[in-house]
Structure 1
Amino acid sequence: MHLLSFLASPLSCLFISAIVFPYPTSAQDRTTEQGEAQILDPTVECAPYQYPPVDDAQGNFPPSWTVATILSNDSDAQARYQSIEGLIPKIPPKGRKADSANGNFGGFKYDPNDPDCWWTYSMCTTPNVSGVPDDIAAVPEPNTLGYGFDDGPNCSHNAFYDYLLSNDQKATMFYIGSNVQQFPLEAQRALADGHQICVHTWSHHYMTALTNDEAFAELWYSMQIIKLVVGVTPTCWRPPYGDVDNRIRAIANALGLMTIMWQFDSEDWLGIESVTKVNNNYMDLITAAQNGTFSTSGTIMLTHELTNFTMSEAVSFYDQVASAFSYLVPVGVALNVTAPYVEDGYTLPSFAQYIGGMHVVSTTGSGSGGGSTSAPSVGGSSDGSGTSGSTTTGNSTNTSKSGAAKVSLKRVDSFASAAVLVTGILFML
């Protein structure tokens, strides 16, 4: 059996659970980030648990996985929306809900001159409205990959995050608000491990299909739940499916959010049934890097922590990607964004500091806290969404490809388990 196929199969989870990991018989600690991070049984990881700060604030947030709206009891949201409403271009929502919110823009007539810089139609990343900055689809540093993952926090991402940690690899994590609400301790781990956290909306719908107040709410409540759970407020976001136009950009910009897109798409969200296509997409990126395509400036690739398969693909190709590029760094590092959050006390290193050995640093904050028209043709591919998946695996013997010295291992037991896991899988194969 091919190693990747095994890792992405249900059999792998059963094998891991029954043979490789001798799960402790004592109760798991599901009250702290550190305790939750030790759990490697995906059944346990993805079981619901109570987290009082979130439970006590249920009335302050929309229901999970529904299109967000501004709550009637949220005076702060109402005031903030009113303060930015005049900055929003008068562009109506695209398509007809509910189909359009799920990506069906059939029958919608749109000016082929693309007046709204609609990415889904033309992959436009340069808005033509005053005061709205260009999207970030590449990074300025040569031979550099802005490394990151969408759709988290995945409830079973511990083994994957262990793998990143064992390689001293930091990334940008684009978190869905509903996932943060359901799995808050998993969200806290990103900050504890030194990753950069960005917003990926509340419910992962097509943003251009939403009304102004809905689009605002999708971003606002994602920012608020991350602040409540992790203790920081992000200053960056990625639109689900890349679906953004001048109206949505203006709302995000007014909330202090930088729009981050991509140039390469792994299409890993398609799943193991499309493994050949996904592998080829990874190889296209690797080949481009090897051919000197990024000799003057770097790039960004779309990948996900959506399922066991997407995380396994990241692990499977990590060494090749790291060898093809000089540096794999969080997007914020590649952009020299040293203040990644609204709050003081949390910093990202500059690019020079990162490649010189200084990784993400939290200085004072805690890791938790609280004319003619035509129907559009989708120019870019869409990313998938989801809430959970089986845990991924990968060996933990690789050295850092970031140019930085290894940091001390914070979770020795997890790394030891990961090494045993790989040994067992290879023996089985």
Structure 2
Amino acid sequence: MVKFVASSLAALVLTVATIQAQSTTTAAAATTKTTTSAAAATTTTTTWPAANQVPPTNSAEVQAWLKEIDLTGAPDIELHKGDPPSCPNPPIANECYWTCDGCSDDDIVSCARPNTWGLTFDDGPSTDTPTLLTYLKGQNLAASFFLIGSNVVQYPEIVKQEVAEGHHLASHTWSHHALTTLTNEQIVAEMRWTEKAVMEYTGLKLKYMRPPYGDINARVRFVLKKLGYIPVDWTGDEFDTNDWQMPTMSESTVISTFTKSLDTYAASNKTTGFYCLEHDLNNLTVGVAQKIIPLGLARNITIAPIPVCESDASPYQNSNTATTTTAATNGTTATSTSANQSATSSSTSGNQANQGKTSGAESRVAGSALSAIAGAAVAGLLLA
């Protein structure tokens, strides 16, 4: 029962924020709209850029987006070459290049919650993503999915399923090209087209992003911030599962290597959590995820998506809430939010029950004001 309460509350913070965002967002502007009569439904079609290619910057859409932001003052750093690019030799001064220099600036590189695995998957959605969703649902786990825009328009129903099942959506660009190799305008095109696709199918405006290959420097950060995005890297090479190297790297090697990282982390003071690098790209990466996640649970590590890691009750740019208070007790977090409306509480907790060592304190939720929707749900869960 505790397992159900914990996982359901963890999903509730995403569900409430999603409902809030969707209820205040109209459908994304369409390229073509036709209405047959006043009472008839509106048919909307959008002409999307080519899949897996950097979108052109001379389109009407991109030109309009560029007018919305001021890119003057962007760091003047030469474009890198390659996909992914090689490290510049010698290094470029003041570039703050995470990929090669380890300079993260104010990127998020670790989960802010102690003893927590920030569960993230890149490169989807794919035809194998539903298998992963079935597994996560069976384990009562939520994850953050860094979506490739051109995959979103190919598999919109999978994206809708991710939202419906309490997962968190974030951006992984339109075409998965290394951002340090692109112009400022191309970065805008990559981000805004992905944003538009997710908005059109879910009503959610993305807030978090992960640069492909972890390829980010001061110039790229400048543009991303102008667009309202927060970059989320991962917590160093030891938390790269290397699933992307399969089948060149065997599954057993992926598992044994990541097991060592988990053992090292479990033996540490665990004052902060970590973000891993995993992919829902194909059956190999989805298959190995189902084998390494239990390794974390067996080591009593809580598993959570980005909004829970960062105690963010507004995980999308169009969430209409502002965090006011946060209380935490042994892995359980309650966040009260308000935005000139009735107070809303999003109570989240980890999946300690999966680990078999939950204490009474771990199953308690700190008191907070509850909205009519969240209050009834939380009260029902806690009293069940």
Question: Which of 84, 88, 99 in structure 2 is aligned with 1:103?
Answer: 84
The residue aligned with 1:89 is 75
Question: Which of 275, 284, 287 in structure 2 is aligned with 1:309?
Answer: 284
The residue aligned with 1:335 is 310
Q: Distance in 1 between matches of 2:164 and 2:330?
A: 17
The residue aligned with 2:377 is none
Q: Distance in 2 between matches of 1:175 and 1:341?
A: 14
Q: Do 1:64 and 1:181's aligned partners in 2 also have CA atoms closer than 8 Å? A: no
The residue aligned with 2:244 is 269
Structure 1 residue 69: Cα displacement: 2.7
The residue aligned with 1:63 is 50
Aligned pairs for 1:12-411 within 5 A: 56-59=44-47, 61-74=48-61, 75-80=63-68, 83-95=69-81, 100=82, 102-105=83-86, 109-112=88-91, 114-126=93-105, 134-263=106-235, 264-274=239-249, 275-292=251-268, 294-344=269-319, 352=328, 356=332, 400-401=354-355
The structure-2 alpha-carbon separation of the partners of 1:211 and 1:297, relative to structure 1 and needing over 3 Å to count, comes to same
Q: Do 2:66 and 2:188's aligned partners in 1 also have CA atoms closer than 8 Å? A: no
Task: Give the unaligned 5+ runs of structure 1.
Answer: 1-51, 127-133, 360-397, 406-429
The structure-2 alpha-carbon separation of the partners of 1:148 and 1:255, relative to structure 1 and needing over 3 Å to count, comes to same
For residues 193-249 of structure 1, the C-alpha deviation after alignment (integer angstroms, 9 at most, x for no partner) is 111110000000111011111111111111111111111011010001001111111
Q: Distance in 2 between matches of 1:350 and 1:230?
A: 28
Q: Do 2:179 and 2:211's aligned partners in 1 also have CA atoms closer than 8 Å? A: yes
Q: Distance in 2 between matches of 1:151 and 1:350?
A: 32
The structure-2 alpha-carbon separation of the partners of 1:344 and 1:136, relative to structure 1 and needing over 3 Å to count, comes to closer
Q: Distance in 2 between matches of 1:354 and 1:210?
A: 44
Q: Distance in 2 between matches of 1:221 and 1:120?
A: 25
The structure-2 alpha-carbon separation of the partners of 1:399 and 1:152, relative to structure 1 and needing over 3 Å to count, comes to farther
The structure-2 alpha-carbon separation of the partners of 1:404 and 1:278, relative to structure 1 and needing over 3 Å to count, comes to farther
Q: Do 1:114 and 1:122's aligned partners in 2 also have CA atoms closer than 8 Å? A: no
The total of aligned residue pairs comes to 299
Q: Distance in 2 between matches of 1:76 and 1:301?
A: 36
Q: Do 2:54 and 2:190's aligned partners in 1 also have CA atoms closer than 8 Å? A: yes
In structure 1, give the amino acid aligned to 2:100: Y
In structure 2, give the amino acid aligned to 1:67: V
In structure 1, give the amino acid aligned to 2:95: D
Q: Distance in 1 between matches of 2:148 and 2:277?
A: 15
2:314 is paired with a residue of what secondary structure?
Answer: coil
Q: Distance in 1 between matches of 2:316 and 2:329?
A: 18
Q: Distance in 2 between matches of 1:297 and 1:158?
A: 30
Q: Do 2:168 and 2:305's aligned partners in 1 also have CA atoms closer than 8 Å? A: yes
Query: What CA RMSD, in Å, does the superposition of the two structures yield over aligned residues?
Result: 3.1
Structure 1 residue 113: Cα displacement: 6.0
For residues 171-212 of structure 1, the C-alpha deviation after alignment (integer angstroms, 9 at most, x for no partner) is 111000010011111111111111111000000011101111
Task: Give the unaligned 5+ runs of structure 2.
Answer: 1-33, 35-40, 336-351, 365-384
Q: Distance in 1 between matches of 2:252 and 2:298?
A: 21
The structure-2 alpha-carbon separation of the partners of 1:85 and 1:57, relative to structure 1 and needing over 3 Å to count, comes to farther
Structure 1 residue 280: Cα displacement: 2.5
In structure 2, give the amino acid aligned to 1:58: T
Q: TM-score, normalised by structure 2?
A: 0.70
Q: Do 1:226 and 1:233's aligned partners in 2 also have CA atoms closer than 8 Å? A: yes
Q: TM-score, normalised by structure 1?
A: 0.63
Q: Distance in 1 between matches of 2:150 and 2:92?
A: 36
Structure 1 residue 277: Cα displacement: 2.9
Structure 1 residue 331: Cα displacement: 1.6
Q: Distance in 1 between matches of 2:183 and 2:260?
A: 37
Q: Distance in 2 between matches of 1:223 and 1:205?
A: 16
2:153 is paired with a residue of what secondary structure?
Answer: helix
Q: Do 1:68 and 1:218's aligned partners in 2 also have CA atoms closer than 8 Å? A: yes
2:189 is paired with a residue of what secondary structure?
Answer: helix
The structure-2 alpha-carbon separation of the partners of 1:314 and 1:346, relative to structure 1 and needing over 3 Å to count, comes to farther
Q: Distance in 2 between matches of 1:67 and 1:217?
A: 8
In structure 2, give the amino acid aligned to 1:229: Y
Q: Distance in 1 between matches of 2:146 and 2:327?
A: 20
